[in-house]
Amino acid sequence: MSRIKVTFQPENRTVDAHPGEALIDVAARADLSISSLCGGQGVCGKCRVKIVRGLANSSSKILGFLDRKELEAGFRLACQTEITDQDVEIWIPPESRQGEEQILTTDQVVRYERPSSSAELPSAREIPYYQPLCRKYYVDLPPATITDNLSDLDRIYRELHKKILGNRLTTEFSCLVGLAQLLRENNWQATATVHLKDPDCPCIRAIEPGDTSARNYGVAIDVGTTTIVAQLVNLRNGEVLGVEGSMNQQARYGEDVISRMIFACSLDGLDPLKNAVTTTINTLVDSLVTGAGISHSDISCFVAAGNTTMSHLLLGLEPCAIRVEPYIPTANRFPPVKAADLGLRAHSNAVLHCLPCVSSYVGGDITSGVLASGISDQSRISALIDIGTNGEIVVGNNEWLVCCSASAGPAFEGGGTKCGMRATKGAIEKVRIRGAGVHYETIGGFGATGVCGSGLIDAIAELLMEHIIDQNGKFINFNHPRVQVVEEVPEFVIAPGTETESGDSVVVTEDDIGNLMKSKGAILAAMKTLLDNLGMGFNDLEQIYVAGGFGAHLNIEKSIVIGMLPDLPLERIRFIGNSSLGGARLTLLSSHAFQKAEAIAKQMTYFELSVHPGFMNEFVAALFLPHTQMELFPTVRERLQRRSEQAGEL
């Protein structure tokens, strides 16, 4: 079969391709990532590229996303355009690229303490806080004699019992292979790697010659849908030696969990997705190992926290039943698995533990977040909110926990908006409007290329407070110099074309505002439905913890103005960073913390909002800025009234 040359600009990178290949796949092979929220199904329109030279065949799906002028200029959707029998040159515009997203690698573990009584533990005896899931013990064995004739393994057991309280030691069979020779050739000196997830039944998973107890490391991983973050930890003392993050390479198959489930279950199967996440983790681990000056074989344990779908894809489990009613995962709690069996680079007997999930749409990342926030250890009633394409919410204290998940849509991630983009360099993340003046800030200080979710929230709050839009999200001030109407749709120009990378203005349209109102409405309606079922209101929440990468860039005050967060004193709302990563590290360093995480997952009561009769009513009520029940937002109501009075005086 003939090979065609495909050149991508502005990198001037050329790769070979076969006729019939989709441009988005050819770009991936050239190590160029093109945005695709829908995983190549042609329903998001985010993979716009321009054919500079040559011809390519496109499906009719592109007509819904490109107007006549764009088509005549050569624009196409990369996922719906195939190579023909001639060379082609393609330009990928900035807004179609998966840029270097701001990846949240920090966390703030609010509080974590051992319960005051051993009765609260799964085990009947106390377990100290610092007891990593994997520990190395050096043993100097007395040589076997005719009178001391225990087997080699029993001799190791005898020495370990002097250091480990548990009396039910077990051993992986692989440890016995070559054990006799190992001990005799190394003067009966060896190091046993013991996994302590169940402190009552420790398991020896590796036996090495000599004393290697000083080289024992673990990796905590936040397996996010968009990004993956890995943290290298010294298991001898709990020291964090490094942290690395990158985009999840699964994004080429779809940028949300639904599109990836569709890919895994109806297109090319699980393997590409599993290999993508494994490759991403291995790349991060390679960097961590190099930075710390250690060997891959020094890593004895991994702990991963991810949503239910990401956990399934990492483990190679089919996620197909998660997306169809009654929404049942293969498992919520996962047995430990040998890391090598998943393709992870570490010691040959290293083990991966995945934190337990609660339901199809409340995963191990939320369990990890509850653990890290300390909600389950406090008597006061608190809430944890993790905002993304799905908004997960947990409410409770040390006696009870309830949770739910609301489908917020892609607006917070830049999807479904005319100039929307993820939080990558050049994205407008902060907006301030005063009269005719507009001030904005971009990520990295680069020229504006689009607006990300936090910037969109800022813009809408400012437009509302400046009376440029009303509380229905409709434009009312058409005399403002930044307001224009394009194809009968009003829009506000945040950055004129003279200030942008592409030369096109970055705008917020009336349709964009409507889309974000639906997303923020889903979050608030989910929280209110949850509280209503508990006979509570927003004011009963003594603390709200906002977690995740999106929350890092939120302006809390403006999030309240648009009605995404409840109208509470600002000191009650606290951002805690990457709580998924923080909880994973806690469980890596403490078998008790892992048991606590398992108890939290079992303790949480899940509300399925899709069948809840009151949720839709609350959702409709929340499609207003900030809400149709203005008494729920007294400070916003007061600010709006004050601004109206000031405008009247002018």
> What domains lie within the chain, and their CATH numbers?
4-96 (3.10.20.30), 125-209 (3.10.20.880), 217-354 (3.30.420.480), 358-650 (no CATH)
3-state secondary structure of 115: coil
For residue 41, give the DSSP letter: S
Residue 385 in tokens: 């909110």
CB 601 within 8 A of CB 358: yes
CA distances to 32, 34, 50, 180 from 23, in Å: 11, 10, 11, 57
Q: Is the pLDDT of residue 482 over 50?
A: yes
More confident position, 392 or 549: 392
Q: What whole-number distance in Å separates Cα of residue 213 and Cα of residue 216?
A: 6
CB 461 within 8 A of CB 558: yes
Query: Which ranges of 35-113 does DSSP label H, i.e. alpha helix?
Result: 68-73
Q: What whole-number distance in Å separates Cα of residue 388 and Cα of residue 409?
A: 8
Q: What whole-number distance in Å separates Cα of residue 57 and Cα of residue 453?
A: 34
Residue 84 in tokens: 């023909």
Percent of the chain with pLDDT over 90: 61
Buried-exposed string 139-165: b where 16+ CB fall within 10 A, e elsewhere: bebeebeeeeeeebbebbbebbeeebe
Range in 13-22, 339-348, 511-520 with the lowest mean pLDDT: 13-22
Q: What whole-number distance in Å separates Cα of residue 177 and Cα of residue 47?
A: 53
More confident position, 611 or 472: 472
Rounded-to-5 percentages of helix, strand, coil across the chain = 35, 25, 40
Query: Each residue of 550-584: pLDDT tens digit?
Result: 666 789 999 999 999 999 999 999 988 889 999 99
Quick one: pLDDT band at residue 456, thresholds 50, 70, 90?
very high
The pLDDT of residue 22 is 87
Q: What whole-number distance in Å separates Cα of residue 363 and Cα of residue 408?
A: 16
Query: Each residue of 2-44: pLDDT tens digit?
Result: 678 889 988 888 888 888 888 888 888 888 878 776 666 776 7
Query: Which ranges of 396-533 does DSSP label H, i.e. alpha helix?
Result: 453-465, 510-533
E strands, 277-400, in order: 299-306, 337-338, 351-354, 382-386, 390-396
Mean pLDDT, residues 296-312? 96
The pLDDT of residue 68 is 80
* Average pLDDT value for the chain: 88
Give the total residue count for the chain.
650
Name the nearest CA neighbour of 562 among 518, 527, 529, 528: 518
User: Could you identify the residue written with the tokens 């997960």?
Assistant: 392
Q: Is the pLDDT of residue 84 over 90?
A: no
Q: Is the pLDDT of residue 164 over 60?
A: yes
CB 586 within 8 A of CB 114: no
- Which helix (H) or strand (E) element contains residue 247? strand 240-247
Q: Residue 633: which residues within 8 A CB-CB, separation 6 or more?
A: 560, 563, 567, 626, 627
Q: What angle do CA 88, 93, 94 make, to 5 degrees?
A: 145
Mean pLDDT, residues 89-100? 74
CB 307 within 8 A of CB 257: yes
More confident position, 426 or 211: 211
